Amino acid sequence: STFHSFLQELPKCEHHMHLEGSLSPEVLFTLAKRNNITLPQDDDAFQSPETLLARYSRFTSLDDFLHYYYIGMSVLISESDFEDLAMDYFRHAAADGLAHAEVFFDPQAHIERGITYNTVLAGFSAARARAEKEFGITSELICCFLRHLPVPNCMSMFKDADVQASFKNGSVTGIGLDSSEKPFPPALFEEIYAGAKELGLRRTAHAGEEGPATFISDALDVLKVERIDHGIRLVEDEALLQKIAKDGTMLSVCPLSNKVLCCVKEISEVPIRKFLDAGVKFSINSDDPAYFGGYILDNYCAVHEAFNLSVAEWTSICRAGIEGSWCSQARKDEML
Ligand code: HPA
Ligand code: ZN
């Protein structure tokens, strides 16, 4: 329809996408074979790319998804595996009319398997350079801490010389906090976030996806984050919602993810209308597109189907996305 091409052509920015979440079942099986990785034999989902994809349509929770997400990424070994993975994302993003991407990666999940941080970073950095040259898509990298791992493990990654070098030379722009949410409150990571602020890094954290609204206020007050990833449970605290609207804090909302992980029953339950009416800034994002059945434009289309937003509303969502990005002002001016 004409609205589809209107959404395709909007200057879209994505702020919540995990590069490891762009691993399709096809690529997963190809890399498992090439890299001699044995997939679980006791789970029928791993019989073929088709059975695995079918399993993805039956996720019951964040943790149910994460189980497959961490097995999936175990097939990534070489620098070129990481580059190819990110290029797969950037190619989809280019077709969807994406202008700018701020993407997460999960180094601890690779370091634990004996893959070095610099292998991962070099592959992703090569893809970022190609995406800008080949598609005109600019990007920033956000290094995530896995909240289900012991805090000392997270702290030792933060202090690692190669990680520190990537913070200081600008190849990584900011930090994030992801993985299993409910048992792992933001305050556990206070020292790491204070250290990141000291270095001048940008800061965000997943909060209020499955966890309570207090995780959103703790991320803001204790971790001093500048954005909130997901944040849909903000609707459970009206005073906090008003504060976030007043402060202009942006949420990175992921509609298809919320539905597939059973955080909502239908896309229409994602509080898009509530956020618009209350003046809460948000962007619309794909989270883990190969697992949740859609890239950025699919998320825009799903929101449009559920909420029938006006041209003016879509234009202001994209404008907020540009203004809330962590790129240079010059790049923002180009996109506006
Ligand atoms: N939530 C938490 N951790 C994640 C997600 C998510 O949506 N995607 C990848 N890791
Ligand atoms: Zn996420």
- Mean pLDDT over 300-317 rounds to 98
d(CA 247, CA 154): 29
- 191 is annotated as an active-site residue: no
Ligand 1, from 179, 285, 291: best to mutate by most atoms within 8 Å of Cβ? 179
Interval 131-179: pLDDT, tens = 999 999 999 999 999 999 999 999 999 999 999 999 999 999 999 999 9
Strand order in the sheet with 250-253: 12-14, 98-105, 138-146, 174-178, 202-207, 227-230, 250-253, 282-284
Q: Is 179 in the pocket of ligand 1 (CB under 6 A)?
A: yes
The percentage of the chain sitting over the pLDDT mark of 70, rounded to a whole number, equals: 100
pLDDT band at 2 (very low <50, low <70, confident <90, very high): confident
Find out whether 258 and 232 touch, Cβ atoms under 8 Å: yes
pLDDT at 268 exceeding the cut of 80 = yes
Average pLDDT, the chain: 98
Sorted by sequence, the CB contacts under 8 Å of residue 173 that are 6+ apart come out as 102, 140, 141, 142, 201, 202, 326
pLDDT at 93: 98
| CATH node for 2-335 | 3.20.20.140
Give every CB contact of residue 99 below 8 A, 6+ residues apart in sequence: 11, 12, 13, 136, 137, 138, 322, 335
Hunting for tokens 């995990």 — which residue is that? Answer: 18
Which pair of structure tokens corresponds to residue 203? 């800061």
Q: What are 229's strand-pairing partners?
A: 206, 252
Q: Return d(Cα 199, Cα 102) in angstroms, integer.
A: 19
Query: What tokens does 21 get?
Result: 């979440």
229 Cβ below 6 A of ligand 1: no
Ligand 2 center–CA 1 separation, angstroms: 30
Reported as a pLDDT band with limits 50, 70 and 90, residue 1 is confident
d(CA 156, ligand 2 centre) in Å: 23
pLDDT in tens, 64-76: 999 999 999 999 9
The mean per-residue pLDDT over the stretch 281-292 comes to: 99
Q: Please report which confidence band the pLDDT of residue 187 belongs to, taking 50, 70 and 90 as the band edges.
A: very high
* Residue 254 CA, closest ligand 1 atom number: 7
Query: What pLDDT, in 10s, does the model give residues 214-253?
Result: 999 999 999 999 999 999 999 999 999 999 999 999 999 9
Residue ranges per domain, the chain?
Answer: 2-335
Query: Alpha carbon of 218 to those of 38, 188, 202, 329: distances in Å?
Result: 40, 10, 17, 29
Q: What is the pLDDT of residues 192-222, one digit of tens each?
A: 999 999 999 999 999 999 999 999 999 999 9
φ, ψ at 164 (rounded to 5°) = -60, -40
Give residue-wise pLDDT tens across range 35-91.
Answer: 999 999 999 999 999 999 999 999 999 999 999 999 999 999 999 999 999 999 999
Among 288, 291, 299, residue to substitute to test ligand 1 (most atoms within 8 Å of Cβ): 288
pLDDT of residue 105: 99
Q: Following DSSP, what letter does each residue of 107-124 receive, concatenated?
A: HHHHHTTT--HHHHHHHH
Give the distance (Å) from ligand 2 centre to CA of residue 2: 30
